[in-house]
A and B are shown apart, each in its own frame.
Chain A
Amino acid sequence: MEQLFFIIFAGIALIGAVNLLLRRNPLYAALSLLTTMAALTGLYIMLKAYFIAVIQVMIYAGAIVVLFLFVIMLFNIRVVERQTDRRGYLKWLALPFAIILIGQFVYIARLFEGNPTPVGTEVGLTEMVGRKLFTAYLLPFEVTSILILAAIIGAVVLAQKE
C-alpha cells in the first residue's frame, strides 16, 4: 500500500521534473515544478514530516512559484521561439553526465537498502520542530532574518522604478 503511494507520488514528481526539462515555455515549466512539489508534499506526509509538508505548500507553492508566475505574466512571456545552436553541444554533454550522476547516486542509494528502519513518528511534529528551532538552532534562525532583510532590500532596490 505504502509502496504504491510512493510509486504514484514519485511518478508524478518525475513527470513534473521531466516536463520542466522539456518545456520551453517558462509558464509550463513553473506548473511542472508545481506538480513535482505537490508530489513531494505527499512524500513528506508519508515520511511523517507534517510540518515540512505544510510549509512546502505554503512557501514553495504559495509564494515562490506564484512569484514566478507573476513575473511571467508581468512580461507576458510566451514561448521562447528561437532555437540557438550555441548550447547544443551542452545537450550532448548533459546526457552522459546525467547517466553517470544518476547511476552513481542510485548505486549509493542501493547501499542503504539493507536497513529499512521504520520511519519516525515523533520527529515531524510541529512542536518538536519549533522547540528545536528556538533552542539549538536559535542563531541560524536569527540569521535568516538578516538574510531575508537583505533579500527584501535588494529586491526592492533592483526592481523599483526611479
Chain B
Amino acid sequence: MGMERLGINYSAVLPEIIMALTGVALMLMEAFWPSRSKRRAGLVALTGLGIALIATLRLWGTPRQTAYAGMIIIDDFRLLFTAIVIIASVLAVFLSWNFLEEERIQPTAYFALLLFCAVGMALLTSSHDLIMVFLGIETVTISTYVLAGYRRDDLRSTEAALKYFILGAFSSAFLLYGIALVYGATRTTNLSAIQTVLNQPLNDAERALMMVGAAMLLIGFGFKVTAVPFHVWTPDVYEGAPTPVTAFLSVGPKAAGFAAFLRVSSLVFGADFDLASAGRALQSDWISAVAVMAILTMTFGNLIAITQTNIKRMLAYSSIAHAGYVLMGIVARDWQAVAFYMIAYTVMNIGAFAVVALIARRGDERVLIEDYSGLGFRQPTLSFPLTVFLISLTGIPGTAGFVGKFWLFKSAWEAGFSMLVIIAVINTVISAYYYLYVVIVMFFREAKREIEPVPLPGAFGFTLAVTVLGTFYLGLLPTRVFSYLNQAQTAIAHLIH
C-alpha cells in the first residue's frame, strides 16, 4: 500500500501540522520551561500561526486536488478560508495578551487551545468528507467550550461554557444523525461520491433518508453558524465568555463553520443535477430552507439587538444578524462573496471587540452600553476606532462592511432572490439604529460618573491600528483582494455552477 494510494501529502496539511506542533510545543514548554510570562507563550503562538499562514499562502495556486484518500481537498477555497481563520487566530492572540495578564491566567494552555482550535478550523475548511467535517467541528467546539469558560472564578463565564457545551453537543448529535442518514442514503460519506450518487435517481427510501438527513445537517450547521432558530446559545455565550474569546468565537469558528456549510451546500447540493436526479429536488428545498433561515436570522438578530443594554449581548445579536447576511451568499451560491464578507467581518468585529475588551477590563465589569457614555471625546483613541467599526458593521460606504454587503446583495439579486435583498436592506436600516446608538452614547452623552481613562496597551494599539486600516482598506481599495478571489474563481470554477 503505497503512499500514493493513501494520498499522503504532507504539504497539503502543512498549516495544520505546524499549528498542532506549536500547540504541543507550548504544552511541553509549560512542562520543561515553566514561566507565567504571557509574552513568551504568545510569541511562540504567533510564530506558529505566522508560519502556518505562510505555509497556507505558499500553497496558493496549486491545482485542485484531494489528499488522504479523499478526506480533504486542497483548493483556493480552502486556502482562503484557512487564511481567514488563521488571521482571526492571530488577532485573537493579540487581544488575549492583556486579558491573560490581568486575570493571571496561565498562558500556555490558553494559547495551545487556541491553536488546536485553529487546527480544527483549518481542517474544517478543507474537509471533503463528512467524517472530516464532523471531526473538524468537534475539534473547534471542544477547544472553544474550554476557552469560553476560561475565567474560572466567574460564574458568568462558567455558565457560558456550560450552555455552549450543552447546546453544542446537542447540535453535534443532530449533525451526526444527519451524516448517518446521508450515509444510509448514499452509502458513502465522501462529498464527491455523494454528489455522484445524487446525480442518479434514488429509490423512495433513499430519497426520504436523504431529505431528513439534509434537514438534520441543516440543523447542525445552523447551530454552528448561529442561524435562527438555532441561535439560542449565542447571546449567553458571547456575553459570558471572556471578551477576547468572544471576539474570536464570533469570527474564527464562525468563518470555519460557514466554510464547511458552504462546502457541503455547494458540493453536494449546488451542482448541476440532471432533471430526473434526486439532487435536483433536494437542491431547491435546501436553497429555500437556507433562504428562509437567512431571513429569520437577520431579522431576528437585528430586532433583538435593538433591545440590548449590554454591549457584548448587542454584538452577539449583531453577529447573528450578520450570519443572516452571509447565509444570503450561500443561497446565492457565491462563495467569493461569503469569503470577502468573512474577511471584512473578521477585521471589523475583532476590532470592535478589542475596544470592548479594553473598556471592560478586568473581570468584564464595564460591559453596559451606558458605561460608554462620555467616552467619545475623552478617549478618541478608543472611541474613534469603535465608531469606525460600528459604521462598518452598519454597512456605510467607504468601509469594509459596505463592500462586503454590497457584494452579497448583488449576488443574491443576480441569483434572483430580490425579496431577500430587500429584506436585507431593511434590516440594514434597523441595524443602523443600535450600532449608532452606541456612537450616540459615546459622543452625545455626558459621562455619568468620572471614569479614569483606560490605558491602551501596545498589543491592543497594534490590533486596533491593523483593524482600522483593514476596514478602510477593504472598503476603499478592495481591488487587490477581489483579484485574489477572482483567481480563485477560475481555479475552482466547477465547485459552483
Indicate yes or no for A touching B, C-beta below 8 A.
yes
A99 is an interface residue with CB less than 8 A from chain B: no
Residue on A nearest B20 in the bound complex, by CB: A146
Contacts of A22 in B (CB 8 A): none
B477 is an interface residue with CB less than 8 A from chain A: no
Q: Mark A33-61, 1 if CB is under 8 A from B, else 0.
A: 00000000000000000000000000000
Q: Which of B24, B71, B204 contacts A139 (CB 8 A)?
A: B71
Query: Which residues of A in the span 65-115 have a Cβ within 8 Å of any Cβ on B?
Result: 104-105, 107-108, 111-112, 114
A137 is an interface residue with CB less than 8 A from chain B: yes
B116-A149 in contact (CB<8A): yes
B6-A150 in contact (CB<8A): no
- Rounded to whole angstroms, the CA-CA distance of A105 and B216 in the bound complex is 12
B117-A150 in contact (CB<8A): yes
What secondary structure prevails in chain A residues at the interface with B?
helix
B6-A143 in contact (CB<8A): no
Q: Mark B116-136, 1 if CB is under 8 A from A, else 0.
A: 110110010000010110011
Q: Which of B71, B146, B204 contacts A154 (CB 8 A)?
A: B146
- Rounded to whole angstroms, the CA-CA distance of A7 and B222 in the bound complex is 36
A143-B209 in contact (CB<8A): no
Contacts of B152 in A (CB 8 A): 158
CB distance from A150 to the nearest CB of B (A): 4
- Rounded to whole angstroms, the CA-CA distance of A156 and B71 in the bound complex is 31
Residue on B nearest A157 in the bound complex, by CB: B109
- Residue from B5, B70, B142, B212 whose CB has the most chain A CB atoms within 10 Å: B142
Contacts of A138 in B (CB 8 A): 6, 8, 68-69
B381 is an interface residue with CB less than 8 A from chain A: no
Query: Which residues of A in the span 113-162 have a Cβ within 8 Å of any Cβ on B?
Result: 114, 135-140, 143-144, 146-147, 149-151, 153-158
- Rounded to whole angstroms, the CA-CA distance of A62 and B92 in the bound complex is 38
Give how many A residues have a beta carbon under 8 Å from the other chain's beta carbons: 26
B467 is an interface residue with CB less than 8 A from chain A: no
Query: Which residues of B in the span 130-149 have a Cβ within 8 Å of any Cβ on A?
Result: 131-132, 135-136, 138-139, 142-143, 145-146, 149
CB distance from A109 to the nearest CB of B (A): 9
Give how many B residues have a beta carbon under 8 Å from the other chain's beta carbons: 45
- Rounded to whole angstroms, the CA-CA distance of A153 and B6 in the bound complex is 31
CB distance from B457 to the nearest CB of A (A): 24
- Rounded to whole angstroms, the CA-CA distance of A158 and B205 in the bound complex is 46
A136-B6, A146-B116 known; A157 and B132 CB under 8 Å? no
Contacts of B6 in A (CB 8 A): 135-136, 138
B71-A158 in contact (CB<8A): no
CB distance from A144 to the nearest CB of B (A): 7
Residue on A nearest B119 in the bound complex, by CB: A146
- Rounded to whole angstroms, the CA-CA distance of A149 and B208 in the bound complex is 38
Contacts of A139 in B (CB 8 A): 13, 67-69, 71-72, 132
A140-B71, A140-B135, A157-B150 known; A150 and B142 CB under 8 Å? yes
Contacts of B161 in A (CB 8 A): 158
Q: Mark B91-132, 1 if CB is under 8 A from A, else 0.
A: 000000000000000100110110011011001000001011
Q: Top 9 nearest A-B pairs by Cβ distance? A: A154-B146, A111-B205, A139-B68, A150-B116, A136-B69, A108-B208, A139-B71, A147-B139, A150-B143
Q: B-side interface residues toward A, CB under 8 Å?
A: 1, 5-6, 8, 13, 20, 23-24, 27, 67-72, 106, 109-110, 112-113, 116-117, 119-120, 123, 129, 131-132, 135-136, 138-139, 142-143, 145-146, 149-150, 152, 161, 204-205, 208-209, 212
Q: A-side interface residues toward B, CB under 8 Å?
A: 104-105, 107-108, 111-112, 114, 135-140, 143-144, 146-147, 149-151, 153-158
Could you list 24 examples of A-B contacts with CB < 8 Å?
Answer: A108-B205, A108-B212, A111-B204, A111-B205, A135-B1, A135-B5, A137-B131, A138-B68, A139-B13, A140-B71, A143-B136, A144-B135, A147-B142, A149-B116, A150-B112, A150-B113, A150-B139, A154-B146, A155-B146, A156-B109, A157-B106, A157-B150, A158-B149, A158-B161
Known A111-B208, A138-B68; further 20 A-B contacts with Cβ < 8 A: A108-B209, A111-B204, A135-B1, A136-B6, A137-B69, A137-B71, A138-B6, A139-B69, A143-B119, A143-B123, A143-B135, A143-B139, A144-B135, A146-B23, A146-B116, A147-B116, A150-B117, A156-B109, A157-B106, A158-B149
